[in-house]
Amino acid sequence: MRHGLQKFCGVACVLAGWVAAIGCGGGGGDDDADGGVDGPGSMCVPGNPIDLNHTYGVLATLNVHVNSAGLVETDTVSEMLLLFDSTQTGTAVSVSATLCDIEIPEIQLMGTPPPPPVIFMLGPGLVESVADVMGTATLGGTESCATFATQPMTIIIGAKLVNPTQGMLPQATVMGGTVTVPECMPTGATCATATGTDCACDQENDMKPGATLLAMNTPLITLDEAYVDLRTTFSLSGQVRSSDAIQGTLTATLEQGVLGCHCGSNPGGTCDMAPCGSAEVNISKTINPVITQNAMPSTFRAVRVDAALTCAQLVAMRDTIFPR
């Protein structure tokens, strides 16, 4: 997995629902970034052979609809940055995808005057702990100006599932005043070392279940941390404009399960600067939203970059590689 310091403006697109509850330069040459898919020659030029044995920076723009227990129903946009290592054999392509950065906009709740926006951010070390995901793709059409389509790829954070693509995500169970989390073994183990299925693990080794999100301005209950597990399954379909650039649409499903939380400052409340009790966890589960893609197409741009490019460099060069 590629590593590097990450700068985050918000939460992963997979976490967006919790927030609501809350160039064609031709083939060949070296591995340098081509300066963006919208630069000179960005349209496909027939006659240039396709060679996808390179590393690509990928910018995905996701348009989603979020509905949370009647508190929030809104459309929002998230961006995700990845690095793809691609190996082509004829019309078959194998891909190793590394998650580098995700941005989710602040969510503005209704009110007069408008309340402060709800903000969630990835906790320290979270994105670095997410393992690469392997996938396959196929080339179609003509030798040049080919079509490109991946099989669905799934990223799971904070859990281990016997059926990674379809099984239910583990969640906390509230019975009376008791909160039970289906933990993997041994208790407190990281996701890299834990054993078991359909259980929650410590994603970033912070001794808290699942993935830790830093919270601000949450509705109904004041939280400073939320503990969740997540799953996103996504596939890409588009046109290879050249060996240096691919563009198209993205299809994704987004899910999250609530494992627990920590209360922020709430003087006089039942939960003040302490782990959430059963009431707070139950509220968190109740407002855990449904996330779907909306009518606006979600899109991606893939640009050939230097094979040694790190996630930190991709984040820093985002506007150069993917001009707005």
How far is residue 120's CA from residue 106's CA, in Å, rounded to a whole number? 8
63 in a structural domain: yes
Please report whether residue 74 resides in a domain: yes
Beta-carbon count within 10 A of 43 CB: 12
Instruction: Give the per-residue pLDDT at 121.
Output: 82
Distance CA 144, CA 51 (A): 10
Per-residue pLDDT tens over the stretch 159-185: 999 998 888 999 999 998 999 999 999
pLDDT for position 107: 75
The domain in which residue 143 lies consists of 13-321
Local structure of residue 53 (DSSP, 8 states): -
In a domain, 5, yes or no: no
pLDDT at 110: 77
Query: What is the C-alpha R_g of the chain?
Result: 21
CA angle at 271 for the pair 290 and 275, rounded to the nearest 5°: 70
Q: Which pair of structure tokens corresponds to residue 276?
A: 């959430």
- Residue 60 forms beta bridges with which residues? 80, 300
Do the domain assignments include residue 4? no
Is 7 inside any structural domain?
no
Q: Report pLDDT for 105.
A: 66
Among 245, 239, 54, 237, which Cα is nearest to 142's?
A: 239
Q: Is residue 8 part of a domain?
A: no
The single residue listed with the structure tokens 């590689």 is 321
Q: Which amino acid is at 5?
A: L
Residue 11 is predicted with a pLDDT of: 31
The strand ranges marked E within the chain are: 55-68, 72-89, 92-103, 119-122, 133-140, 147-150, 153-157, 159-160, 173-175, 178-180, 199-200, 211-216, 223-242, 245-263, 290-293, 298-305
- pLDDT at position 167: 84
The DSSP bridge partners found for residue 149 are 138, 237
The domain tally of the chain equals: 1
* pLDDT tens, per residue, the chain with 324 residues: 443 323 222 233 333 344 333 322 333 334 443 444 444 345 666 556 789 999 999 999 999 888 877 777 888 888 899 999 999 999 999 999 999 988 766 777 778 888 888 888 888 889 889 999 999 999 987 655 789 999 999 999 999 999 988 889 999 999 989 999 999 999 999 999 999 999 999 999 999 999 999 988 888 889 999 999 999 899 999 999 899 999 999 998 888 899 999 999 887 777 889 999 999 999 888 888 888 888 899 999 999 999 999 999 999 999 999 998
Whether residue 1 lies inside any domain: the answer is no
Q: How many C-beta atoms surround the C-beta of residue 173 within 10 A?
A: 13
Q: What is the pLDDT of residue 13?
A: 36
What's the pLDDT score for residue 143? Answer: 57
User: How far is Cα 68 from Cα 110, in angstroms, rounded to an integer?
Assistant: 13
